[in-house]
Amino acid sequence: MPDTAGPALHAVLLFLLELGLLGAAGFWALTVFSSPWAAVVAVIVVAAGWGLLLSPKAPARPPWPWHAVAAHVLFVLGAVVLFAVGQPLIAAVYLALILVSVALTVVYRDRMGPATERIRESAAPSGRRAAGR
């Protein structure tokens, strides 16, 4: 396996876990409130929070180790929500994937911090408009 295949697979797993978190939020709202609109609102709220705090280009993104901890804590909360609404099998599979992600985060921890900093630096404005011309 190439040197970059492991981190790339981990990034795909993290993306799938993010989608699972959105699905858990929507399913929870649909179950509790019995309204598709509640599910839509729950998904939008979780997606907005993720985008503002934990996405690679988030304006208020915490530094490297705390970002990984916060993301995995939210994933575990998604598994708890799935258990709470009566989906133990889906929650168990989701929790197993979270544990794999935690293990891969530990394995690739030396690469994760600098990689996210490069993403944030590449998002910085440049050129004439950034210089105020």
Residues 91-121: pLDDT tens digits? Answer: 999 999 999 999 999 998 876 655 555 555 5
Q: What is the pLDDT of residue 114?
A: 52
Q: What is the pLDDT of residue 108?
A: 87
Contacts of 20 (CB under 8 A, 6+ apart): 75, 78, 94, 97
Q: What letter represents residue 105's amino acid? A: T
- Token couple for 77: 């909360």
Q: What is the pLDDT of residue 110?
A: 76
Distance separating alpha carbons of residues 48 and 40, to the nearest angstrom: 12
- Which residue numbers in the chain have pLDDT < 50? none
Helices vs. strands in the chain: H and E counts, helices first:
6, 0
Contacts of 76 (CB under 8 A, 6+ apart): 95, 98
DSSP 124: S
Q: What is the pLDDT of residue 118?
A: 52
DSSP 58: -
Q: What is the pLDDT of residue 5?
A: 80
Cα 113 off chain centre by: 15
Distance separating alpha carbons of residues 20 and 72, to the nearest angstrom: 12
First vs last Cα of the chain: how many Å apart? Answer: 47
